[in-house]
Amino acid sequence: MAITDFLASSDINFAINACKAKDTFSPKMFFKAVGLSKKTPSEIERVFKILDQDKSGFIEQDELQLFLQNFSKGARPLTAAETRAFLLEGDSDGDGKIGWEEFSALVKSS
């Protein structure tokens, strides 16, 4: 299962290009640009499972850092500041990782 099964590659290219420069990544802007905010809960859940590479049920910091590469293999890793900001924005219960409900809420608020 690939992310390109749900999202248009033109939207992915647009979203990746929009945050090409370091420290310009914003999760909400990205989710909106890539078309994820308009997807159904089950599609958003499938994307969450792709992002959760080690299948722990959470998106941890190391997975967040490589977030963009799930959308495009050649994309850059997020900077430490971007990774921290992403975590702060999504991790509403403060456990240091993003669970399914937190991810879904973040995508829907995009």
Token readout for 103 is: 């991810």
Choice between 52 and 102, CB closer to Ca ion: 52
Q: How many residues bind Ca ion (CB under 5 A)?
A: 5
Instruction: Report, in Å, the least distance between residue 102 CB and Ca ion.
Output: 13
**Which residues, 6 or more positions from 77, have their beta carbon under 8 angstroms from its beta carbon?**
65, 66, 68, 69
Interface pick for Ca ion out of 45, 54, 62, 101 (rule CB under 5 A) = 54
CA distance 77 to 91: 20
Residues of this chain that bind Ca ion (CB under 5 A): 52, 54, 56, 58, 60
